[in-house]
Structure 1
Amino acid sequence: MPSSASAAAPPPPLERSYRRLLRVLPRGYRERWEDDVVAVLLDTEQEAAARAVVSEGPQRQDEERELVLLQRPRLREVVGVLGLAVRLHLAAPSTPGASARSRAVGDAARLTALLGLLPAAYGVVDLALLPWQSRQPGWSQLTPADGVEWVAGCLAALLTWTLLVAGHRRTAVGVAVAGMVVPWLISGAQLSPWALQPRELVVWLVLLVPLLSVAAWHRDAPAPSPRWWWALPAAVAVVFGLWGLETAHATGASFAADPLVAGAALAAGWRRPHSGWLGAAGLLGLVALVWGVVTLGYLAGTPLGEGMAAATVLAAVTTAASGLVVLLAVVRLRVLARAGRLVEHAEVGPEAC
């Protein structure tokens, strides 16, 4: 009969490591499947170790099985669990084991990635206007690194959105990460994210929300509707129009771009009560709100001429509009949820509105 001491023996290091790793999974999924997942992972590692020494006999295989339990999880297993966590937290309609809330969050994140196409639109406009801008007086003050960083950022934003709509989701994620890292490396790594103050780091992360939302387009997610191809020309037309207003001395006209996109998502979610559209409106409104607050902080320390005064007023108006979009999206979501009128798991595409 085993003693109480042996019965209460602590689990091996590999099992403890796996259980700590599985904490990244949603609580409901973990409570139901944690023991099964850990058992499968342990059996897989032990059997792989035993097969590696199969020619040395059963005793050697048993020794390898015991030694494996003293090791740490391999990188491949860690990446697999993290990928599962992304799929469950940002779930798609076909993701097995995901909750309704995770599917709603996933819908909102995927729409945020598609609607966060303004960087791509700005990339098209900036590249199209590059010959004209290169002849402006301020262009000579830019260093070659500044020019390369600018063009690289434009291309990365355009490629990320194009690859995403074309269905090359893994490549889009890679380009998005490269677009975030490469310009930082080109600039000489002068601004380390880990060197930022907590408040600055929060602002930095919030402004990257549309880019980070690309991760929601995992293998379970449905392909974007082909109708999304019309969104980029529309956004380019809006950006060109705002650029024309800026050129016509309507300083600060470009501040309206982000609230316009967030407002369009809110209108779509309001007309058809889909939690994805309303969630995307809230996220994009939050990005526009943060950007507006940062802009107002910058303008507050700038001498106010005639143009800057108008820009400050417009920045204040667009910031207030962004905050209103966030408030209306949250209130609408809560009202519809209480009434049970939310449409869940609709196809992610313009026709879903």
Structure 2
Amino acid sequence: MSPLEEHYRFVLRLLPAAYRQEWEDDMVAAFLDSMDTGDPETTAYLTDYGRPSLSEVASIVSLAVRLRLGGADAPPRSYAWGQAVRLATLMAMLAHAVMVTASIAVTLWLSGKIAWLPAPALEWPLSLPSNIWHTAWSLAGYAWLPAYVALVLGHRRVAQAVALLAIVPPAITTAVEQAAGDVPLSVSPWAMRFIDVVLLLAMAAFHHGAPPVPRRPWLLALPIGIFLVPVPLFTIQATRPALRLLDWPGLFCAVVTVTMVVHLVGRVSSRSSRTLPWSLALTLLAVTALALRTATLPDYSNQAQRTTLATIASVEVIAVLAVGVPLAVLAIRALRRLPPIPAVARRPTTPT
């Protein structure tokens, strides 16, 4: 086996084992034929020192995503995982859209535009951007709202491009501020940016073979989510300073825990085949919430209320585990009852 073939077969490991067993030799043969330049010396050099091109690797990655996160025509297990990733992505995007939309109301409150709310305390200052550039830079975070709408409407590439606008500016701002010493070094902003990057990559599950997103319920979820979570939260925090100890990772843990409890209650009266993707999706979100909560714990070491904050964080982790572990066990059992990916599968066309 030549080094070039070894490299290509290594990349093919991204594909499911059953699919490789059926199509790997044909794909390797087609790839090696495509590398034949007609010049024996050049072909021999590529065989010994060449590697698969980035476009070829990208096509295999795309194929692996379509096979492992399948659409309506995929085997049951692949379809369940595909729906789980799509549901988890939609819920995470919805959370972003809800929070950035509600932050507009918070900005109006801090600037005194909402007269019926109590005046903000002194520790809630409003820092306005100094120029047009800083204004546009600050507004980049609001891109999560059109990104969510684009994803629901079926424009996945548009959603990814817009979401990228919401990720890059905060990352650059954090890097510049921490490098200049304007803000203390902390893990939290980088942990959240990492989650955002994972969310951006997860949008690949909305490929052409994936079933369309039900538009009406997911669009209605946006205003409902705003009135159920951020509006009451900010209103209560405006009058009860003690509740300001609940940060974003803590709120994420609380919302995920409540959602899992509601799902477990409804799961008893529903068919497992319909609830399995939701169970897997909530399990993925629970793992994400635990990872985010754990990664941000070191930032409490320099806080004046570090003992209280650590205690609250411990309670949040215990709550997620107490509900998430039983849900994960039920989801895994239901997943194992589904038939696996068949050994013979139709080979999608990929560029070479």
- Is residue 115–residue 261 contact of structure 1 (8 Å, CA) maintained in 2? no
Q: In 1, distance between residues paired with 2:173 and 2:299? A: 25
What secondary structure sits across from 2:213 in the alignment?
coil
Q: Report Cα offsets for 1:159-193 as digits up to 9, x if no partner.
A: 2211110100122223334433343234456779x
Tell me if 1:241 matches 2:232: yes
Structure 2: runs of 5+ lacking an equivalent: 113-119, 180-184, 340-352
Q: In 1, distance between residues paired with 2:338 and 2:65? A: 27
Partner of 1:153: 141
Partner of 2:285: 284
Aligned with residue 212 of structure 2, among 212, 223, 244? 223
Aligned with residue 61 of structure 2, among 58, 82, 85? 82
Structure 1: runs of 5+ lacking an equivalent: 1-9, 51-59, 343-353
Q: In 2, distance between residues paired with 1:140 and 1:66? A: 64
TM normalised by structure 1 equals: 0.71
Q: In 1, distance between residues paired with 2:237 and 2:329? A: 34
Q: Percent identity?
A: 29
Tell me if 1:39 matches 2:29: yes
Map of 1:122-137 to 2, 5 A cutoff? 122-133=99-110
Aligned with residue 107 of structure 1, among 79, 83, 87? 83
Partner of 1:17: 7
Q: CA offset at residue 121 of structure 1?
A: 0.8
Q: CA offset at residue 102 of structure 1?
A: 3.2
Q: Report Cα offsets for 1:55-88 as digits up to 9, x if no partner.
A: xxxxx7x888777656433332221112112222
- Is residue 77–residue 338 contact of structure 2 (8 Å, CA) maintained in 1? no
- Is residue 191–residue 295 contact of structure 2 (8 Å, CA) maintained in 1? no
Map of 1:173-192 to 2, 5 A cutoff? 173-188=160-175
Aligned with residue 332 of structure 1, among 312, 330, 342? 330
Cα gap change, 1:73 to 1:276, in 2 (>3 Å): same
- Is residue 257–residue 319 contact of structure 2 (8 Å, CA) maintained in 1? no
Partner of 1:350: none
What secondary structure sits across from 2:244 in the alignment?
coil
Cα gap change, 1:300 to 1:182, in 2 (>3 Å): closer
Cα gap change, 1:125 to 1:202, in 2 (>3 Å): closer
Q: CA offset at residue 298 of structure 1?
A: 3.7
Q: In 2, distance between residues paired with 1:22 and 1:87? A: 14
Partner of 2:316: 318
Cα gap change, 1:31 to 1:69, in 2 (>3 Å): same
Partner of 1:267: 262
Q: Report Cα offsets for 1:235-281 as digits up to 9, x if no partner.
A: 21121111111112232456345432453255336243222111111
Q: In 1, distance between residues paired with 2:332 and 2:58? A: 35
Cα gap change, 1:78 to 1:292, in 2 (>3 Å): closer
Cα gap change, 1:262 to 1:146, in 2 (>3 Å): farther
Cα gap change, 1:181 to 1:203, in 2 (>3 Å): closer
Cα gap change, 1:154 to 1:236, in 2 (>3 Å): same
CA RMSD of aligned residues (A): 4.0
